[in-house]
Amino acid sequence: MSAVPAPTSAATNPVPFEFEAGPWSHHHLARVEQALSNWVGDGAPAGLGDAMRYAVLDGGKRLRPLLVMAAYEAVCSAHPAAAAATTTAAAATTPADDAALRAACAVELIHAYSLVHDDMPCMDNDVLRRGKPTVHVQFGEAQALLAGDALQAFAFELLTPDGSAIPPATQATLCRLLARAAGSAGMAGGQAIDLASVGIVLTEDQLRQMHRLKTGALLQGSVLMGAVCGHAAQPAYQALSDYGAAMGLAFQVVDDILDVVADSATLGKTAGKDAAADKPTYVSLLGLARAQAYAQELLQESYAALARSGLPDARALGALADMVVRRSH
Amino acid sequence: MSAVPAPTSAATNPVPFEFEAGPWSHHHLARVEQALSNWVGDGAPAGLGDAMRYAVLDGGKRLRPLLVMAAYEAVCSAHPAAAAATTTAAAATTPADDAALRAACAVELIHAYSLVHDDMPCMDNDVLRRGKPTVHVQFGEAQALLAGDALQAFAFELLTPDGSAIPPATQATLCRLLARAAGSAGMAGGQAIDLASVGIVLTEDQLRQMHRLKTGALLQGSVLMGAVCGHAAQPAYQALSDYGAAMGLAFQVVDDILDVVADSATLGKTAGKDAAADKPTYVSLLGLARAQAYAQELLQESYAALARSGLPDARALGALADMVVRRSH
């Protein structure tokens, strides 16, 4: 079953968009997979390169890269001529396209490194991920630690290509957004709060803060990085930031719901793990029905932010928020 | 005793410079310590911020920050007027000064995170560093892992301050240099080769390659980042790159020598550890006398590169290379 039943009211994505099986996601997923395969592990010593590739090229949902691409295209829909004008004679794609593809890969590298380190014995001690042995099981703990470290560094290397036509200001801003989303006031900070919260009763504000950092910061960061690649103007940028915040929090609320309602086979990981670990969740705090209603509210917030953005075509972002809330795993 | 006796020939730093106890290092160390203390852990959740500060604010030699500062000032000595001209009315220091201080702190954050992760049980399993319990002993393994991860992200955040007068091209180049020095073709790559080399006989070329990556890349990267902050012209930049390569390799050769000739008390860490771990070193490969001669050769190479740079005042860089080779710990 999906996490959040379709509402009985008219609260659906205002602009229908064939997403999951459609050509949009197929096209972008293929580009991102190809780019990751070309780039990851290139120039690394053999064992380390193998571990890095194993960690990344394993068929995740690639939600974060798709958010980058969807935000980039939504912003470009407001000024298609400007994007075209930056095309260089030598390149088949524009510098802005290149920046977006690099940003899409960079956010996935950060996500992948965080999974490698999270799975290690001193953290969650998981031996399986997506049906495969985790990186430390396959390559040893030391190599897993190094592979995670190297993937984080490589994310920033991808954003700052030498001799590129990507404007330096775009490169610097992308690094800033990614560093903040990944660091102590973002993903790593959220994980630290999570560590400290086992067995503790959090208020809703504290739980929201933990989730905004732990998963929300990188999801929102993905949206903002896509917006920067498309040179978003301020009002649209702010609206996309609001979209990213609502969608990012919805992702975690739904994760908490799925931990309760889904079985392990559908989920692809152990269900009921949060409760077993005595971790505070939206379900333990609000109960299942109110958590589902809250996810629905956040979905509406994300739609409203897209409407406020004034961007002519933000359908893919709407579809991604929809997928985040209605997914079954 | 020091690692490498003073040579009997005239092969000393061509320009005498009062370094270790002198006002130059005192001034810069104070600035770097203050900046690190202001910045590290700011905005992080309490436990994580404490672990980050513990890892960084522990009185290391700060060799890498000093290399950034020395390279920056050497380059500025070629065009002091240009550096002064960029002073903004509002700031007491120039944007270039700010960039150099940030770069100095960023390289130290990367060094500090690498020590935290290296000390963990799955790597070197060290319980003491500089006389204090290592981060994972003090804060737990999970917090140590996260603190290392967050320090790496924070290094890139420091290089890309919002609303700063540091030119975006400088910010982007600093991120590129740091990412490469830290990643799979730099420090993390060298550590992976090191992991795979226990109990194996390496050729001198293989040993050099391992050390160039493991410690040399970040030392050379520090020099290059300082050069970029000072807007070095190409011939000087290349000479400083050569200096960094020779000095960086010398650092590791001397490390190998000290592991044999120094006692643990002087070294501040366990002596004889490489041999006990059956790790290939310059001493095991060349013997002690030839390793000492090689360190001396590399010191001369670093002096020659400084002479080639054409920079009016590269004395601090010369003194740092001298310190690297003659240090006793």
Concatenated DSSP letters of B285-306: HH-HHHHHHHHHHHHHHHHHHH
User: What does the pLDDT read at residue A17?
Assistant: 55
**Nearest Cβ partner of A145 from B120, B152, B183?**
B120
Contacts of A157 in chain B (CB under 8 A): 176, 179-180, 183
- Chain B residue numbers with beta carbons less than 8 Å from the beta carbon of A106 are none
Q: Say what the pLDDT of residue B85 is.
A: 47
Q: What's phi and psi for B10, nearest 5 deg?
A: -90, 25
Q: Where are the alpha helices (DSSP H) in chain A?
A: 23-39, 46-56, 63-76, 80-85, 95-119, 135-139, 141-158, 168-182, 187-197, 204-211, 217-229, 234-261, 264-267, 273-276, 282-286, 288-309, 315-326
A317: number of Cβ within 10 Å: 31
B chain contacts of residue A191, beta-carbon cutoff 8 Å: 146
Q: How far is B161 from chain A (nearest CA, A)?
A: 7
- Residue B264's pLDDT band, with cuts at 50, 70 and 90, is low
List, in order, residues 6 or more apart from B129 with CB less than 8 Å away. B58, B115, B119, B269
Q: In chain A, what residues touch B160 (CB-CB under 8 Å)?
A: 172-173, 175-176, 179
DSSP A78: T
Q: Is the pLDDT of residue A85 over 60?
A: no
Tokens of B253: 């050769």
The letter for the amino acid at A243 is: Y
Considering only the beta carbons, identify the residue of A44, A45, A184 that sits closest to B154.
A184
The hierarchical CATH code for the domain B23-326 is 1.10.600.10
pLDDT of B295 higher than 80: yes
Residue A130 distance to chain B (closest CA, Å):
23
Q: What is the pLDDT of residue A130?
A: 85
Determine the average pLDDT of the residues in B17-22: 58
According to the model, what pLDDT value does residue B271 have? 64
Interface TM-score (ipTM) > 0.90: yes
The answer, for A191 touching chain B at a CB cutoff of 8 Å, is yes
Residue type, A285: L
Kindly compute the dihedral angle of the four CA atoms of residues A232, A167, A158, A100, in this order, to the nearest 10 degrees.
30
CB contact under 8 A, A195 and B169: no
Q: What is the CA radius of gyration of chain B?
A: 19
**DSSP per position, A31-46:** HHHHHHHHHTTTTS-H
Q: Kindly list the domain boundaries of chain B, sorted by start residue.
A: 23-326
Find the largest Cα–Cα distance for chain A: 60
A266 and B CB contact within 8 Å: no
Q: Which of A184, A200, A206 to mutate to test the interface with B (most CBs of B within 10 A)?
A: A184
CB of B189 within 8 Å of a chain A CB? The answer is yes
Cβ–Cβ gap A162/B145 under 8 Å: no
- Nearest Cα of chain A lies from the Cα of B290 at a distance, in angstroms, of 28
Measured at the CA of A209, the angle between CA A206 and CA A213, to 5 degrees, comes to 145
Backbone phi, psi, residue B133, to 5°: -60, 140
Portion of chain B with pLDDT greater than 70, in percent = 86
| Residue B211 with chain A: CB contacts under 8 Å | none
Q: Specify the DSSP class assigned to residue A215.
A: I
Tokens 């030391």 belong to which residue?
A: A142
Task: State the DSSP string of B197-253.
Answer: TTT-PPPHHHHHHHHIIIIIHHHHHHHHHHHHHTT--HHHHHHHHHHHHHHHHHHHH
Cβ of A184 within 8 Å of Cβ of B44? The answer is: yes
Is residue B140 within 8 A of residue B121, CB to CB? The reply is no
Q: Dihedrals φ, ψ of B38, to 5°?
A: -70, -40
Q: Tell me the mean pLDDT in the region A301-326.
A: 96
Closest CA to A211 of A250, A156, A252, A163: A252
**DSSP codes, A8-25:** SSS-S-SS----TTSHHH
Q: Could you give the CA distance from residue B127 to residue A160 in angstroms, rounded to a whole number?
A: 37
pLDDT at A9: 47
Q: How sure is the predictor about B199, in pLDDT bands with cuts at 50, 70 and 90?
A: confident
* Chain B, window 40-59: residues with a beta carbon less than 8 angstroms from a chain A beta carbon: 41, 43-45, 47-49, 52
Predicted confidence (pLDDT) per residue in A163-172, tens digit: 999 999 999 9
pLDDT in tens, B151-166: 999 999 999 999 999 9
3-state secondary structure of A187: helix
Question: By CA distance, what is A172's nearest residue in B?
Answer: B172
Of A11-25, A70-84, A97-111, B128-142, least confident by mean pLDDT is A11-25
| Confidence category of residue B140, pLDDT binned at 50, 70, 90 | very high
Q: Is the pLDDT of residue B89 over 60?
A: no
Q: Which amino acid is at B224?
A: L
A63 neighbors A321 (Cβ within 8 angstroms): no
Flag whether residue B95 sits within 8 Å of chain A, measured between CB atoms. no
Among the residue ranges B14-18, B244-248, B311-315, the one predicted with the least confidence is B14-18
**Buried (b) or exposed (e) across A27-62, using 16+ Cβ within 10 A?**
ebbebbbebbeebbbeebbebbbbbbbbbbeeeeeb
CB pair distance less than 8 Å for A48 and B188: yes
Per-chain mean pLDDT for chain B: 89
State how far the Cα of B194 lies from the Cα of B152, in Å rounded to an integer. Answer: 21
